[in-house]
Structure 1
Amino acid sequence: MQGPKTEELIRILNSLPQSQMAGSIRLFSAPGRINIIGEHVDYAGGIVLPAAIDFRISAAVRTNGTNLFRIYSLDYDSWKISETLQYDPIQTWSNYVLGVVSEAGKIGLPVPGFDLAFGGNIPQGAGLSSSAALEVVTAYSLSELFGWNLSKTKIALLGQSAENRFVGVNCGIMDQFVISVAKPESCISLDTETLEYEYISLEWKDCELVLIDSKVKHSLKDSEYNDRRKETESALEKLKKIRPTLTSLYHAEEEWLDESKELTPREMSRALHVIGERKRTHNVIRSLQKGDAIEVGKSLYSCHDSLSRLFEVSCPETDYIVDWMKGKGVMGARMIGGGFGGCVLVLDRIGRGSSLFSECNDAYSRKFGVSADIYPIKISEGVREER
């Protein structure tokens, strides 16, 4: 089964001048992702429950027998052709590919010239990790192309390294990891401190997940995302002065916050969110194992409230959608992703999504002057080669 837009990607690569040393075209794809619970804890050593969704980026890739990296974005209808690995402030989309190449070179992996054309249907700026999908599909396809034989865990770490060191977003490991290892109808319980994980079933009997895109576009590089990470890290360092054995903010206890006389109000709020998210995540794991969707929904609402009030990464538009859903008796809803816009994840009984969305969108459009989008989703598998 081929991913979206593969025929067009093949045509684009075939239109290039070809060296006699060029290899055959191979096709790969990687999914977007959602996170059920455990938001903004992946860089604090916490447990997260992400899953892949059936929106994907596809890539057509081949060796080209030269020293050039020839990269094409179908979405931007733009080429990036380069022999060097320098950050491009204009064609910023290319940095997710070049970053993988740069980080691979730093750990001794050979990267001869290649052609890569990519495109897909993951909405950009919606908090569904289109950038991580591009990093992972690049890392996986080059590993297969050049015989690196990297494990899925190392694929994820290479993608994260590209985003941290080349792109400049200090993200955690969650997005790249689940995009690498995901299975259909399952989320993973991932300990971001140890990288140990297990699959947990998401086969709802009479419930479904949908996404509502606020259409407020966010860029983590330009947002306060990095500031939030700095605040959690500084809170940890201050708490370690009174609890020297503390390894991560995720494992702190709420009463310890009052013991520290150094925490700023912002650091206190960020720590309260992380600690509360630990408790919510354990509750959701138990609820999923028991098939208790109602309890999962309650945790989603609680998570959103914490993200909005304590971590301050929501926005008026996503707050409005969540509040509207709660007022209509929807089982659960929360913003997902880095924040500052993007999508709301909604859990409700099967069959109500379209009618509820239509009613919600009418009110949303009147208030904000823009229409939201609804994305029915299925839980999908991770990065793969298309046959």
Structure 2
Amino acid sequence: MERQQLSDQFKAIYHQEPDLVVKSPGRINIIGEHTDYNEGFVLPTAIDKAIYVALGKRDDQEIHLYAADFKESYHTDLQSLAPTDKGWPNYILGVVNQLLERGLPLTGFNLFIDGDVPLGAGLSSSAAVECAVGYGLNNLYDLGLDRVEIAKIGQLAEHTYAGVKCGIMDQFASILSKAGNVVKLDCRDLSYTYVPLELGDYEVVLLNTNVKHSLASSAYNDRRQSCETAVALIQEKYPEVNSLRDVTMEMLLELVKPVNEDSFNKGKFVIEENERLNKACDALIAGDIPALGEQLFLAHDALSNEYEVSCKELDFLVDQAKKKDEVVGARMMGGGFGGCTINIVKKGYGKQWADELAPLYQEAFDLELTPIFVKTDNGSELVY
């Protein structure tokens, strides 16, 4: 988005120039789904689609928000912060609430938000909003927060104001990514390394199902509860176990499978997904992109059959990918029940393939199929 355009839109609403503008990107995740809240590993990177936030200080305690996507405004003040039924302001207000809880000095402010992260595509527009707001307010008020702390603030904002008990991956990727790399993040201790994303003759193509099933957020919390149940059952014999990260397949078979088949399946998925991620990293380091793709196909089968977070539209697209030699890997990406598939495709073939798929997809589901071509990008940055 153009800097001048953002500034002009802010000025048209608030009759002042913004003090600063920040951008925070959406993300893709190569592999490692639903592992983050189980203290496992994830492999995300930021993309060249971002949320932009323009900010200007006020000389009172009022907060004025405007979302370009919804053409809606929202007003409150620092003393009256609370979640709202309107939805979108919660991702902003939740961040403000976290800053206030830390005793950090804020005044009222004006905020304008826009972006080109496709909503509902599983590219984590919500985390991009949280990180853009956190990064912007940190710079506006010189709060001295580091990037990891801003990621944690974004995660807690989503827990408390949006009501989704998300893991840390999306916020971490949005603020700490480095162009040309994926972040191998250990969600237990937040240690991380950058792994070069060098795909050679291949590229990443996203296919947006343009569907978002309504059960997504409640089902997400249900899956999290199933994992916690598995851990609780194992802790009765192994009190040193803190999360599924500490759990072996033998423990699951002995203590969970006989009493709770659902928690067994969810736990099995998480353990094996961490193993798939490590194999994917090995493949990237070795430059073996077909081996990377194979782990994506395996991950999708498990996400669909064991973790049960896929849907017929996503399964259809992955099944079609398996028929093409030019597509070496594909899986659903994100929380599930809609959004995108991520595909590792021969360079230059993505558009042709999407054009071939679109009528098949339209016929099957009466929905448009939207390809999204992305590049890696850096995490949160000041635009000016």
TM-score range, shorter chain: over 0.9
Q: Distance in 2 between matches of 1:5 and 1:163?
A: 29
- 1:282 aligns to 2:278 (yes or no): yes
State the Cα distance separating 1:152 from its structure 2 match: 0.3
Where does structure 2 lack aligned partners over 5 or more consecutive residues?
A: none
State the Cα distance separating 1:6 from its structure 2 match: 4.2
TM-score using structure 1 length = 0.95
Paired AA for residue 122 in structure 1: V
The answer (yes or no) to whether the contact 2:164–2:217 under 8 Å persists in 1 is no
Matched positions, count:
380
Name the counterpart of 2:60: 66
State the Cα distance separating 1:179 from its structure 2 match: 0.7
Would you identify which runs of 4 or more consecutive aligned residues in structure 1 move more than 3 Å?
5-9, 218-223
The answer (yes or no) to whether the contact 1:257–1:263 under 8 Å persists in 2 is no
Which runs of structure 2 are paired with 1:9-28 in the superposition (5 Å)? 9-16=6-13, 24-28=18-22
Name the counterpart of 1:328: 324
Q: Distance in 2 between matches of 1:55 and 1:346?
A: 17
Paired AA for residue 162 in structure 2: V
- 1:174 aligns to 2:130 (yes or no): no
Greater shift, 225-234 or 248-257, is seen at 248-257
Where does structure 1 lack aligned partners over 5 or more consecutive residues?
A: none
Within the candidate set 154, 157, 163, 2:158 is matched to 163
Name the counterpart of 1:7: 4
The answer (yes or no) to whether the contact 2:55–2:111 under 8 Å persists in 1 is yes
TM-score using structure 2 length = 0.96
The answer (yes or no) to whether the contact 2:14–2:110 under 8 Å persists in 1 is no
Name the counterpart of 2:137: 142
Paired AA for residue 377 in structure 1: V
Q: Distance in 1 between matches of 2:219 and 2:236?
A: 27
Name the counterpart of 1:361: 358
Name the counterpart of 1:371: 368
The answer (yes or no) to whether the contact 1:5–1:119 under 8 Å persists in 2 is no
Name the counterpart of 1:235: 230
Which runs of structure 2 are paired with 1:187-226 in the superposition (5 Å)? 187-218=182-213, 222-226=217-221
Which runs of structure 2 are paired with 1:42-81 in the superposition (5 Å)? 42-81=36-75
Relative distance call for 1:362 and 1:77 in structure 2 (3 A) is: same
Which runs of structure 2 are paired with 1:347-358 in the superposition (5 Å)? 347-358=344-355
Within the candidate set 307, 312, 317, 2:308 is matched to 312
Paired AA for residue 302 in structure 1: L
User: SS of the counterpart of 1:66?
Assistant: coil
Name the counterpart of 1:38: 32
Output one character per residue of 1:351-381: Cα deviation in whole Å (capped at 9) or x when no partner: 1111111111111110000111001110111
- 1:253 aligns to 2:259 (yes or no): no
Q: Distance in 2 between matches of 1:5 and 1:228?
A: 40
Percent identical residues = 37
The answer (yes or no) to whether the contact 1:109–1:148 under 8 Å persists in 2 is yes
- 1:296 aligns to 2:278 (yes or no): no
